[in-house]
Structure 1
Amino acid sequence: MTELEKMLAGENYNPLDKTLVKMRKSARLLCEEFNLSSVADLAARKKILKRLLGSTGKDFYIEPSFKCDYGANIHVGENFYANFDCVILDVAEVKIGKNCFIAPQVGIYTATHPIDPVERANGIESAKPITIGDNCWIGGRAVINPGVVLGSNVVVGSGAVVTKSFGDNVVIAGNPAKVIKVIEPSN
């Protein structure tokens, strides 16, 4: 198995593999191009993001600065919006549904490291995918940790640290995040 195949399979892998280093550099150059682009040229910004991200809906918008590891592992649905300073560490796949909004300074992290200090010092990494359902709103400075699945219609309070998965129609907040309210969607 290649290091890329190991990474995508959620197994331990070596991030210093030449192929992975090249892929990250390419993504960072596209992020740099996007982050330096003019607000007056929205079409150019969208083209850059289409080259960077794995898939998008027709209508989506990301404010600079935006940073990611690979880009190709990020899939966002229709009517997606990410505010300033979003960071998505997409070592594994990140799927975000339609009508989702991300507030400023949100971190979505699939990357993880061994708890064992010897393994960690050897540079070994792994990753767990993250899935965010439709109609979600992630509040400012929230962190979504590796392996989390959020159902549809979830609101994540500002500053929340999401360490486990949650189903549909809830407001979660805190560190670690917990349900603080059940949402009764209007018809």
Structure 2
Amino acid sequence: MLTNVYFVRHAHSTYTPDEVGRPLSVKGLADAERISEVLAKENIDIIIASPYKRAIQSVEPLGVKLEKEVILEAGFKERTLSLEPVENFTQAITRVWENPAFSLPGGESNHVAQNCGIMAIGNVLESYEGKNIAIGTHGNIMVLIMNHFDKKFDFNFWKNLDMPDIYKLTFENKNLLDVKRIWDSTR
């Protein structure tokens, strides 16, 4: 029995230091409507989101359109890079990807963050086998999960993601069979 997971990297957000409450920008809200149009054609059975506002807002229009509740799952939240703001984000994110066991003070290493994401996707695959599941999430944790199944999904892949972006992962049990990008950022 095949299970399809549609990872939705959240749309553009308005930067605030509040990671949990950071909202989508005006462009992000418009893109969330486009996300709902794309995913409404995919026979979505279940909608899940990270508890972060920007991830929820990215799939809420789909929930409204399909009259489905958005289930919150902390395992799909963005990884904590550091407890303190980092001076050079590019340098910090490069370092954690170069050394998967490294973490900044109060932050999560790639290993720790990936393990959290793998537990969450494992639970989803067990609970909703044979379903089509949309998951509103974040770029780093999404790629860390994908990387667990196929190492080609790496730091360079992450750097080339759009905001938003959608990837359809097809599983048989917990075995990844196929990955397709279904978001067209030029639309």
Please give the range of the TM-score, normalised by the shorter of the 2 chains. Answer: under 0.3
More strand, by proportion: 1
More helix, by proportion: 2
TM-score (normalised: structure 2) = 0.27
